[in-house]
């Protein structure tokens, strides 16, 4: 009897995956921001598996099955090809890597981004599906923000050593000691990620889409819901207690206003000031000391900032010696020999600059492919904005493209001071896939319109 039930369950599950790819895509979008709390086992073990990988693989198989059943053509694009080329370079670097084990592990990790991009581009086939996928991601992000606020005020802090352990899986507040000697210990929010900076970039990715939902809301209750969501996201950005996150948030707000996602009026300006006045008293002293105080940006106090300059100089030397092909992706030890041994005694470290890190890993060719990939995505989001400007009926798509442009841009800018694309960053890959879908939909719409225009006799 049990065997029959198990067989029935297996058949039902298979049928569900094959015939309901849209549901699997929504599930993938929802689990995207879970990261650390969705992992099984300690983060540092090689056998770590995650809910995201399970759901992502199921979504990929469902999409492929749907394409075969419906005989849907494979959707190709320049960004997808560039991403695949970068992945090929990563796998090729295993053959000459200075640390083959780390290079192989990171090349496989990189494959997750490419597969997620492929799954979304092939699986999401309509504007309605684009919005549904976005909504699933945003709802999950806001739920995490809500839990972070609760854990910050009522939960227990964990230390740097506890990050990644199963026992601290649902702890989201960190007592960081990285600048203890100069600025003291700092209470920092890291959400469901393994690092406050990672949590900050995840929030920055979601921020323009919260404004997008406010911009296109058709009722006051809907607008009010997203306004509350905006307050949650901004408050969580402050709780990360991260200087780079605050600076990028200011730049993000400026870009959002410049692109028209938020129409600044006297009433809204006053509302923003009042919201800021309400949030400031809730901020703990550690945030004032580490982020909002000007002394925190003095190189004598901000030891993290000092360290970055040393790392960048070392990365340039390492990359200069291996400029043609790099030392292999995922290498975290080659740079150590270029650092002052009296100031650094760790076993591994990275360049803390995404572009310099890729330069050391894959040389100039890899860096050019990576920059071309980023540029092609930004170009497509900008092109969709321009195309939608000509048609008032497409205003909703226009604002979506504007939000996508903000999100796609903030990650590489953030990468100027940290190896951001070496983080999971699944939210960025989600947005990248959705903007490619929207770009395809716009091209199909334009082609259809041209076919309907009668030719002159």
Most confident of 67-71, 148-152, 280-284: 148-152
- pLDDT, position 208: 98
Last residue of one domain, picked from the residues 34, 54, 74:
74
413 part of a folded domain: yes
125-129, 190-194, 341-345, range with the lowest pLDDT: 341-345
148 part of a folded domain: yes
Tell me: do 373 and 336 sit in the same domain: yes
pLDDT bucket at 179, cuts 50 / 70 / 90: low
Taking all residues of the chain, what is their mean pLDDT, rounded to a whole number?
87
Give, in order, the Cα–Cα distances in Å from 4 to each of 7, 13, 14, 115, 268. 5, 14, 15, 34, 62
Of residues 162 and 311, more confidently modeled: 311
Tell me: do 179 and 248 sit in the same domain: yes
Last residue of one domain, picked from the residues 245, 270, 301:
301
State yes or no: pLDDT of 171 exceeds 70: yes
Tell me: do 145 and 290 sit in the same domain: yes
According to DSSP, the β-strands at 186-189 and 173-176 are antiparallel
Tell me: do 148 and 112 sit in the same domain: no
Enumerate residues 6+ apart whose C-beta is below 8 A from 176. Answer: 160, 185, 186, 187, 188, 196, 241
387 part of a folded domain: yes
Spatial CA neighbour of 63 closest among 131, 105, 119, 112: 119
- Residue ranges of alpha helices (H) inside 124-219 are 127-154, 196-216
State the Cα–Cα distance between residues 449 and 259, nearest whole angstrom: 27
Last residue of one domain, picked from the residues 301, 318, 351:
301
Query: What mean pLDDT do residues 84-105 have?
Result: 97
Q: Could you read off the pLDDT of 221-273 as tens digits, one per residue?
A: 999 999 999 999 999 999 998 888 988 999 999 999 999 998 877 777 777 77
State yes or no: pLDDT of 113 exceeds 60: yes
Domain count, the chain: 3
133 part of a folded domain: no
Enumerate residues 6+ apart whose C-beta is below 8 A from 316. Answer: 356, 359
35-39, 72-76, 122-126, 279-283, range with the lowest pLDDT: 279-283
Query: What mean pLDDT do residues 320-341 have?
Result: 93
- pLDDT, position 269: 74
| Containing structural domain, residue 212 | 141-301
- pLDDT, position 344: 76
129 part of a folded domain: no
Using alpha carbons only, give the angle 49, 53, 54 rounded to the nearest 5 degrees. 95
Tell me: do 315 and 450 sit in the same domain: yes
128 part of a folded domain: no
- The answer to whether 42 touches 48, Cβ cutoff 8 Å, is yes
Of residues 38 and 143, more confidently modeled: 143
According to DSSP, the β-strands at 49-50 and 39-40 are antiparallel
Class of residue 361 by CB neighbours under 10 A (exposed 0-12, middle 13-18, buried 19+): buried
Tell me: do 345 and 361 sit in the same domain: yes
132 part of a folded domain: no
Tell me: do 61 and 95 sit in the same domain: no
Tell me: do 273 and 415 sit in the same domain: no
Tell me: do 346 and 435 sit in the same domain: yes
Q: Could you read off the pLDDT of 43-55 as tens digits, one per residue?
A: 555 455 688 889 9
What tokens were used for 253?
Answer: 């707000």
- pLDDT, position 293: 60
134 part of a folded domain: no
- pLDDT, position 315: 96
Rounded to 5 degrees, φ, ψ at 39 are -95, 150
- pLDDT, position 312: 94
Tell me: do 99 and 238 sit in the same domain: no
- pLDDT, position 184: 52
What tokens were used for 172?
Answer: 């989201």
Tell me: do 289 and 334 sit in the same domain: no
The residue behind tokens 């707000």 is 253
- pLDDT, position 156: 84
- pLDDT, position 331: 95
Query: What mean pLDDT do residues 139-152 have?
Result: 96
- pLDDT, position 46: 46
State the Cα–Cα distance between residues 398 and 390, nearest whole angstrom: 10
Tell me: do 36 and 96 sit in the same domain: no
- What three-state secondary structure class fits 187? strand
Of residues 106 and 17, more confidently modeled: 106
């Amino acid at each position: 009897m049990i065997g029959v039930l198990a067989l029935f369950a297996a058949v039902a599950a298979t049928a569900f995956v094959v015939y309901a790819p849209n549901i699997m895509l929504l599930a993938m979008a929802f689990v995207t921001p879970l990261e650390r709390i969705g992992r099984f086992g300690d983060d540092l073990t090689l056998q770590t598996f995650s809910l995201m990988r399970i759901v992502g693989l199921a979504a990929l198989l469902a999409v492929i099955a749907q394409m075969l059943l419906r005989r849907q053509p494979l959707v190709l694009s320049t960004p997808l090809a560039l991403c695949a080329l970068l992945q090929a370079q990563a796998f090729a670097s295993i053959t000459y890597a200075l640390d083959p084990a780390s290079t192989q592990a990171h090349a496989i990790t990189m494959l997750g981004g490419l597969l997620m991009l492929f799954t979304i581009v092939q699986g999401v086939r309509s504007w309605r599906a684009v919005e549904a996928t976005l909504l699933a991601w945003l709802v999950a992000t806001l739920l995490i923000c809500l839990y972070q606020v609760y854990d910050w005020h009522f939960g227990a802090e964990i230390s740097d050593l506890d990050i990644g352990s199963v026992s601290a899986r649902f702890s989201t507040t960190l007592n960081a000691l990285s600048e203890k000697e100069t600025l003291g210990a700092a209470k920092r929010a890291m959400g469901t990620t393994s690092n406050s900076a990672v949590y900050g970039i995840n929030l920055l990715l979601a921020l323009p889409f919260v404004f997008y939902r406010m911009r296109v809301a058709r009722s006051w209750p809907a607008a009010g819901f997203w306004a509350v969501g905006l307050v949650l996201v901004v408050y969580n950005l402050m709780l990360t207690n991260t200087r780079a996150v605050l600076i990028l948030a200011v730049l993000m707000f400026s870009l959002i206003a410049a692109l028209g996602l938020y129409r600044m009026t006297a009433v809204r300006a006053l509302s923003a000031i009042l919201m800021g006045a309400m949030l400031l008293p809730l901020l703990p002293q550690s945030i004032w000391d580490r982020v909002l105080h000007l002394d925190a940006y003095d190189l004598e106090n901000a030891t993290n900032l000092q360290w970055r300059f040393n790392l960048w100089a070392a990365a340039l030397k390492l990359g200069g010696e291996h400029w043609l092909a790099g030392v292999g992706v995922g290498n975290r030890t080659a740079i150590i020999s270029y650092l002052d041994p009296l100031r650094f005694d760790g076993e591994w470290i990275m360049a803390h600059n995404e572009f310099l890190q890729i330069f050391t890993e894959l040389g100039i060719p890899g860096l050019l492919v990576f920059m071309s990939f980023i540029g092609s995505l930004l170009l497509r989001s900008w092109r969709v904005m321009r195309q939608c400007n000509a048609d008032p009926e497409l205003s909703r798509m226009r604002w979506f493209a504007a939000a996508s442009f903000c999100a796609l841009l903030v990650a590489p800018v953030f990468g100027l001071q940290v190896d951001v694309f070496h983080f999971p960053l699944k939210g960025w890959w989600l947005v990248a896939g959705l903007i490619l879908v929207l770009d395809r939909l716009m091209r199909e719409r334009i082609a259809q319109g041209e076919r309907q225009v009668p030719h002159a006799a």
